[in-house]
Amino acid sequence: MAKLTHFDDKGKAVMVDVSGKADTAREAVATGKITVNEAVYSAIETGSIEKGDVLGVAATAGIMGAKKTSELIPMCHILPISNCRVTFDKNPEKKEIHCTCVVKVNGKTGVEMEALTGVSVALLTIYDMCKALDKSMEIGDIYLQKKTGGKSGEINNTKNR
């Protein structure tokens, strides 16, 4: 079993010391979805949400969220993110919008939390922009899909949508 590294020998939370680690290329991919009603799905498709381009704003919010992860998650390191992309795939049959966030860095620690935060903030932004039409939207299935680089190498978590 892997040792948890965010606790000292007395059980107190600490930031992991990565100062002795070498910089490596790292990437993380996270995904999640929001399920909406017909009115929201149609309004997003036709661009008729009064607040503006929902998916465009949500993509920008997701990137901003990824960049600010260390301000939200107490033990996360501040990372010099080299790339972040937030994309969406729509499923009209299920009235779902799937979000994917890919984050890259050349550093001493991974960007899994940044990718997960990016997806979460993007989906929350969709909720915020559309809540006047549907307060029963559901956000879910947020998970780390893939990561590369670092000591643990490549990790793939392939779930069925």
Cα dist from 78 to 5, 66, 103, 108, 160, whole Å: 17, 11, 14, 11, 32
Phi and psi at 28, nearest 5°, equal -135, 145
Q: Nearest-CA neighbor of 32 among 80, 86, 84?
A: 86
Q: Could you give the residue numbers annotated as active site?
A: 128
Token couple for 80: 């010099």
What CA–CA distance (Å, rounded) separates 49 from 46?
Answer: 8
Candidates 12, 62, 38, 64; CA nearest to 133 is 38
